[in-house]
Amino acid sequence: MSKDVTKRPDNRSSWYSLEEIENFLSYAKEEAKKLGYEMDGIRIYCGAYPDDGSGAGYSTSFIVPTSSNKEGEEGGYGQSHDIQGASGLNKGSQGDPPNANYPQ
């Protein structure tokens, strides 16, 4: 549970609007091309912000684009890896209430 990481009651979910997801995917595909990659998916990470005095140190999830190849490389197809230098999507809205169980 996220409260085991953050040591306090915490969110159990993140919410992103369909528009945010669609915009991110379009942006990520274009950014991947500029970096020389063909985006083939996304990876979703779970993490926690540090409790550095400026914030509560709550958990989060974020999305990064992935690719199994880079243009001009021989082979390289197979397992997808995070695209280095690409932007991710973070800071979704919290659940309502934040500690609500699945489903909401």
Q: Left if phi > 0, otherwise alpha if psi is -120 to 50, otherwise beta: which for 21?
A: alpha
Chain segment 12-42, per-residue pLDDT in tens: 677 888 999 999 999 999 999 999 999 999 9
Residues 6+ apart with CB under 8 A from 100: 12, 13
Strands (E), 1-104: 14-15, 41-48, 59-67, 81-82, 93-94
**0.85 cut: is pTM over it?**
no
